[in-house]
């Protein structure tokens, strides 16, 4: 049981939340997640999630020139994505309350 194995599904919500703050592209997202403390997210994790989120119509993308390197694919939230993010907020609150209750029962 490692840190990263706890995150399944939660990353989706975090990614949606970061995208909501402003358009980002995958490569940038990887370093943002790293800054936040998610150290173990390689691009092999992030790109498939972005593709899945777009397939589910939660995010949309536009290509823009990079200052150095190939074109960047910038993502932004769709309306459906905003709804999903709001729903994730509630699920996360409930989850974290439940887990905290279990972990701190005896205190």
Chain residues binding DNA by CB under 7 A are 1-5, 7-12, 25-28, 40-45, 47-52, 65-74
Question: Would you count residue 27 as binding a copy of itself (CB under 8 A)?
Answer: no
Q: Which stretch binds a copy of itself (CB under 8 A): 7-15, 23-31, 40-48, 69-77?
A: 7-15
Residue 86 to residues 2, 11, 15, 16, 73: CA-CA distances in angstroms? Answer: 28, 15, 13, 10, 24
Residue 50 to residues 4, 19, 101: CA-CA distances in angstroms? Answer: 18, 11, 33
**Residue 87 C-beta: closest distance to DNA, Å:** 14
Q: Could you give the angle at the alpha carbon of 76 between the alpha carbons of 73 and 77, nearest 5°?
A: 145
Binding site for a copy of itself (CB under 8 A): 1, 3, 5-10, 12-14, 17-18, 21, 36-38, 84, 88-89, 91-92, 94-103, 105-106
């Amino acid at each position: 049981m490692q840190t990263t194995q706890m995150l399944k599904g939660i990353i989706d919500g975090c990614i949606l939340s970061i995208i909501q703050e402003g358009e980002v592209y995958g490569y940038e997202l990887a370093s943002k997640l790293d800054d936040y403390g998610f150290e173990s997210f390689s691009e092999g994790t992030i790109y498939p999630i972005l593709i899945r989120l777009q397939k589910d119509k939660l995010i949309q993308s536009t290509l823009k020139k990079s200052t150095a390197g190939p074109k960047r694919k910038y993502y932004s939230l769709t309306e459906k994505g905003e709804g999903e993010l709001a729903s994730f907020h509630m699920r996360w609150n409930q989850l974290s309350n439940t887990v905290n209750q279990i972990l701190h029962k005896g205190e």
